[in-house]
Amino acid sequence: MLSLEHVSKSYDTRHGRRQILKDISFTLARGRNIGILGRNGAGKSTLIRLISGAERPTSGRIRRGMRVSWPLAFAGTFAQHLTGLDNLKFVCRVYNVNYKTVLPFVEDFTELGPQLREPVMHYSHGMSARLAFALSMAIEFDCFLIDEAMVVGDARFHARCNDELFKKRKDRAFILVTHNAAQIREHCENAVVLCEGELLQFPTVAAAYDFYTSMPVAAPQIGAR
């Protein structure tokens, strides 16, 4: 069970305090999923960081009753000078997994071949994303955080991601954050809309979809942090 209780987050900027998230509450039970729709700058990435635990809410609390992954395909945690394999070993050590058991899967999924033993700084954006995604699949998580903006890659990668995530791990919970309403309709059983830092609840995915697609495009806000 994952729950957010009256979570707010604000940052100090040069133009004074800026509230990104206002009093957000929702819960996600084991094996369920939720889609969060939001335009650029609505606070989606901030919300992901809060849920993943990299940052702390200004007020309110987040309870994690299950193992929550880091944002899927997020390659920022890699040490650039280390090889892909060393990074893999590090993640395995942190999550207490024997790296030998996951290595075949990672090698197969990333299709990096000998490149896996090269420093990550030589990887392309897509290669890093593949490795990061494979790693989050290799570790047993109860709940996946998916920031659509982070999952970059070609169509084949997307297809394989969808296969791993939505087919093979159907029993897991996930939170999908995207600005793409079609994605939500395709994968999620619940949907909410994040609009100017506030979370709007809807009884059905269709209702959220309709609201989001008919929403007037708000004046562009200062870019997402």
Cβ closer to other proteins: 38 or 71? 71
Rounded to whole angstroms, what are the CA distances from 108 to 67, 191, 206? 25, 33, 37
What is the smallest separation between the CB atom of 115 and other proteins, expressed in angstroms?
Answer: 17
Q: What token pair was written down for 213?
A: 């697609």
Which of 68/175 has CB closer to other proteins? 68
Judged by CB under 8 A, the residue of 8, 18, 26, 82 near other proteins is 82
68 binds other proteins (CB under 8 A): yes
Q: Whole-angstrom Cα distance, residue 174 to residue 130?
A: 19
How many C-beta atoms lie closer than 10 Å to residue 203's C-beta?
9
Does residue 57 belong to the site contacting other proteins (CB under 8 A)?
A: yes
Nearer to other proteins, 64 or 179 (CB): 64
Minimal CA–CA distance to 160: which of 130, 122, 115, 200? Answer: 130
Whose Cβ is closer to other proteins: residue 78's or residue 157's?
78
- Asked if 65 touches other proteins (CB under 8 A), the answer is yes
Out of 29, 31, 40, 56, which residue is the one contacting other proteins (CB under 8 A)? 56
Which of 36, 43, 44 is closest to 209 using CA atoms?
Answer: 36
Segment 88 to 107, residues that bind other proteins, using CB under 8 A: 89-91, 93-96
- 43 touches other proteins (CB under 8 A): no
Written as six digits, the tokens of 175 are 């939170």
DSSP E strand stretches across the chain: 2-13, 16-28, 33-38, 59-64, 68-71, 143-147, 173-178, 191-195, 198-201
Q: In the complex, which residues of this chain contact other proteins (CB under 8 A)?
A: 11, 49, 52-57, 61-65, 67-68, 70-71, 74, 76-77, 79, 81-82, 86, 89-91, 93-96, 225
